[in-house]
């Protein structure tokens, strides 16, 4: 089971820019690899890495991807972002039964929901999703499928209040369960990669029993 530390990052302001966050994640945090192919029917494996950190207000993440068949057509948070070239974070606060899924395409469109399993999920309100700061390197306009090698990144800052409300977590003791994914359900060559292995008969990211542990380091 993959586990990893999440390090505190210091900035000059309480709300650093996404450019500052991206630079800090590049310089101060290790990259983790998403490279597990769990299902023989989908053998294609793009190159995917991510770096994570946190501030007193936000969980920070940056993905680095190189793949064939890039697409970013979804523009609304109610659409099936996972049908595009998509990176995902599923995260479960310690001692909770509700996990959150955050799914991003290369232009920053975010699908997000919460619930206890695949079938019991509630989409996050659009006003909540707007508080998730993010920026994809593919720009802000829809991109039809590009059938060539394509490299892209996305950086996101997810407010902790989405997980904990107005209660500030105790970062010294904070642990969260998580798995990280890369997919593209409607690409010419679909794929489903995971950080931690998922032992199911067909692709299924909604399996908290296979999540690893994130340890928050002050």
Position 176 scores a pLDDT of 97
Percent of the chain with pLDDT over 90: 95
The token pair that represents 106 in the structure block: 């290369």
Q: Do 32 and 54 touch, CB atoms closer than 8 A?
A: no
Position 94 scores a pLDDT of 84
Position 161 scores a pLDDT of 97
Task: Give Cα separations from 91 to 53, 83, 107, 151 (angstroms).
Answer: 14, 20, 22, 25
**Per-residue pLDDT reduced to its tens digit, 155-187:** 999 999 999 999 989 998 899 999 999 999 999
What is the mean predicted confidence (pLDDT) over 16-34? 98
Position 190 scores a pLDDT of 98
Position 130 scores a pLDDT of 97
Q: Which helix (H) or strand (E) holds 100?
A: strand 99-105
Position 198 scores a pLDDT of 98
**Per-residue pLDDT reduced to its tens digit, 64-123:** 999 999 999 999 999 999 999 999 999 999 889 999 999 999 999 999 999 999 999 999
The token pair that represents 107 in the structure block: 């232009």
Q: pLDDT band for position 1 (50/70/90)?
A: confident
Q: What residues have CB less than 8 Å from 213, skipping those under 6 apart?
A: 1, 3, 4, 175, 176, 177, 178
Q: Which residues pair with 64 in a beta bridge?
A: 49, 153
Position 147 scores a pLDDT of 96
What is the mean predicted confidence (pLDDT) over 135-148? 97
- Structural domains of the chain, with CATH: 4-217 (2.60.40.1190)
Residue-averaged pLDDT of the chain = 97
């Amino acid at each position: 089971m993959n586990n990893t530390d999440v390090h505190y990052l210091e900035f000059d302001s309480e709300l650093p820019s996404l450019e500052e966050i991206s630079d800090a994640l590049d310089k101060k945090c290790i990259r983790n690899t998403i490279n597990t192919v769990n299902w023989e029917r989908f053998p294609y494996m793009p190159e995917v890495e991510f770096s994570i950190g946190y501030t007193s207000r936000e969980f920070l993440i940056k993905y680095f991807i190189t793949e064939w068949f890039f697409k970013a057509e979804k523009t609304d948070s109610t659409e099936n972002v996972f049908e595009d070239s998509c990176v995902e974070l599923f995260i479960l606060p310690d001692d909770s039964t509700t996990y959150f899924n955050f799914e991003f395409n290369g232009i920053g469109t975010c699908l997000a929901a919460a619930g206890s399993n695949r079938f019991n999920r509630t989409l996050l309100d659009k006003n909540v999703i707007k508080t998730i700061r993010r920026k994809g390197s593919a720009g802000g306009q829809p991109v039809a499928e590009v059938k060539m090698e394509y490299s892209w990144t996305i950086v996101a800052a997810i407010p902790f209040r989405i997980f904990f409300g107005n209660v500030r977590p105790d970062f010294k003791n904070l642990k969260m369960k998580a798995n990280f994914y890369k997919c593209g359900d409607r690409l010419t060559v679909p794929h489903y990669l995971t950080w931690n292995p998922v032992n199911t008969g067909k692709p299924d990211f909604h399996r908290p029993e296979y999540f690893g542990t994130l340890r928050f380091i002050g």
